[in-house]
Structures are given as structure tokens and as C-alpha cells.
Amino acid sequence: MNGAATAAGAFARRFGSAPEGVWAAPGRVNVIGEHTDYNGGHVLPIALPRTTRAAVGRRDDGRLVLRSLQHPDADADVALPDLRPGTPPGWAGYVAGVVHQVAGSVPGGLSILVDGDVPEGAGLSSSAALACAVALAVRDLLHLDLAPGDLVDVARRAENDFVGAPTGILDQSASLLCVEGHALLLDTRDRSSEQVPFDLTAAGLALLVLDTGTTHDHAASGYGDRRRECEEAAARLGVGLLREVPDVAALDVLADGSAEGDRLHRRARHVLTEEDRVHRVVSVLRSGADPRSIGPLLTEGHASLREDFAVSVPLLDACVEAAVAAGAHGARMVGGGFGGSAIALVDAGAVDAVTAAVADRFARESAAAPRVLSAVPSAGARRLA
């Protein structure tokens, strides 16, 4: 049974009638451009083949009734006027955060059944996939006049304002705007974007996602600290966003000999060098040169996230090190950091060897072997049925 039929069937069993439609939105990995989005820089994500599906139907009792096949013990049933941050809690908050924003347009309530296969807590944006699937569903079902960029904001606000996770727009943009066979080059300052062809299979390559199984939690982790550090660095440099700093040399004034100055200097240096790496990766992909040559830029990006931005963890470092030692062209942690997944660019014929080498390294670190997915650049959010 396909994803739409499974979600529709589960909806019918839960709510006693067929849904009015089923929508899907994917998780993402970012090829390069980490922690640049809230600094006004560029990002280059691809959508994963893994999606979250939302089967949706209208109801007439003024309630939002939610069920997730991944959280069968955490149904939610809330009157629309009672929606507020924290109500309902947990996974349902991402859905409620979207519905809350359009509650004035919801005639009598909504029933929503969620199913999906984006791993949670792996840094692959399962939360954005959920919010985006629901945002697209309510847009279509309620005939709301929302352009794709507006949907990005609806989904982001659900996370930022309702759930309290201070994300940028990377994840929601990737989930809503990505196109199969392409990476999305997005300028997060003016929101312009370009689809950059990224055909790994034709090049005999695979982009592995290695989920370390260590969890991350943006709301409670150092993500917010990094944002504040970037804002402080920008303020000291007299710019609104770090993106506006012309070059790395202009950051020297931050290093005033104090520990804090040194820290802000390193944080800002990551943002500027990462922005440069995005452009270097994009020029390789645009030029039609062998995509293997982006590998070292990925590994360089990891070193910068580890040393300058300090968002990696030892298991992610071990993962990257082992993958590269086993022949990956490049590897790096992805997402916000403090756990989650790494990516490794490998020859199709080397997938097994690299996977085995990483598993072996993890065993030596007394960690369970990572879950491995193949990141084929896939389609963004869409209606399935």
C-alpha cells in the first residue's frame, strides 16, 4: 500500500469517513550552508525521499482532532479557541501551530491523521515536514491565498512562536520548495532561489545520511546560544546580519583579546567561510564538473562547525572521520548540531565499505551502528490524493 492509501485508510478507521485529501512533505538534508540561514546567508538543501503525510478532513464541532501513527498514545482533541503554545503538547503542537494561524478561516474544525517515515530527532527536519504537510493541506482545503513563500512562513511560525523552537527558514523552505534531482540554492535574505541540478546517480555517487542516534533538541540545546552569539557579533560589527560583512579580515576587530571576543570571532568566521563554501559548491555543480570535487568542501565545512561554531559532538566527528578514512569524498554533520546525522558523499560502489567502516568505528566508541539512508534529491511538498 502506498503512503497516501495507508494514511487515508488509517484516517477512515479513526474518523469513520474518508479524508478530503492527503498531503506529503519531505524531510531534508542540507548539502552545505549550515547556520547561515538566520544570518541572512545562502543554504543548499535537498529534499529526502522520506515524507510526512497528513490526511485531512473538515468537521463541524469546532475542534481540532489529531492522531499520529508514530505517536499512537498521544492523540490530541482541542477546541479551536483553546489552541495556544503548549496546548496541545508534543508532536501535535506543530500541527496546532499551523492551524492556529489560519483558525479564522477554518469553518468548523479539522480532523488530521499523520503518518510518516522521516526519522525523528535525527536532524532531518521531521518537525518541518509535519508543519509543511499540514500548511499545504489547509491552504488547499480552505482555499487560502498563500504563495509557497507564505507557507514557509506559516510553517516556520508554527515552530518558532507556537512550539518555541527558534529555527531559521532552511528546513521549511527545503520541504516546500525543493524539486526532484536538484538542490535548492536559497538566499535567506531576499528569499530568491534557484534549482541547481544535482544528479548523484548519473555521476555514480551516493549521498549517505548516517544517523548517529544521538538526539538533539533545538529548543533546549545551544542552538539559541549560537543565534545570540551571531547577533552579538553582528551588533559589534555594526551590521544587521553577518551576511553583510564583506570578508573574513573584517572580523578581526571582534578578537579583542577577551575570551568572549575570541568566541564571537570564531562564530562569525564560521558563518562567513560557510557562505563562501556554498558558493564554491554551487559553482562546481553549475559548471557540470565532477561533483566529487565538492567533497573536500563538505569536510572543510564540518571542521568549521566543529572548531569555530562548536556545534558538533564526538560521535559526529568520529562518523565524519571514519567515512572519509574509508574513501568518502567528503562528509560533515548536518542540521543544527549537538547530535543527529552526518552526510557522506561516496562512490556508489563504496557504499557498503563506508557504511561498514563507520559501524566498526561506532562499535569501538561503544555506540550502536548508525541508521543509514540514501539521500536522493527528491520532490518537495505536494498533494498525494
| Binding-site ranges for ligand GLA (CB under 6 A) | 30, 34-35, 37-38, 167-168, 170-171, 335-336
Chain-centroid distance, C-alpha 344? 17
Q: Across the chain, which distance is largest between two alpha carbons, in Å?
A: 67
Least Å distance, CB 109 to ligand GLA, is 30
Q: Which is nearer to ligand GLA, 23 or 38 (CB)?
A: 38
SS (H, E, C) 301-341: HHHHHHHCCCCCCHHHHHHHHHHHHCCCCEEEECCCCCCCE
Q: Which is nearer to ligand GLA, 56 or 165 (CB)?
A: 165
3-state secondary structure of 24: strand
Least Å distance, CB 34 to ligand GLA, is 4
Q: Is 115 a catalytic residue?
A: no
Least Å distance, CB 83 to ligand GLA, is 22
Q: Which is nearer to ligand GLA, 37 or 300 (CB)?
A: 37
Amino acid symbol at 313: V
Chain-centroid distance, C-alpha 142? 26
Selecting among 171, 190, 211, 225, the annotated active-site residue is 171
Chain-centroid distance, C-alpha 76? 25
Q: Are 21 and 385 in contact (CB under 8 A)?
A: yes
Question: What does the alpha-carbon distance between residue 205 and residue 348 come to, in Å, rounded to a whole number?
Answer: 5
Q: Which is nearer to ligand GLA, 168 or 295 (CB)?
A: 168
Least Å distance, CB 136 to ligand GLA, is 19
Q: Which is nearer to ligand GLA, 141 or 343 (CB)?
A: 343
Least Å distance, CB 181 to ligand GLA, is 23
Instruction: Quote the strand ranges of the chain, DSSP E.
Output: 21-30, 42-43, 45-58, 63-68, 76-79, 109-116, 182-187, 193-197, 205-211, 330-333, 341-347, 371-374, 382-383
Q: Known catalytic residues?
A: 171
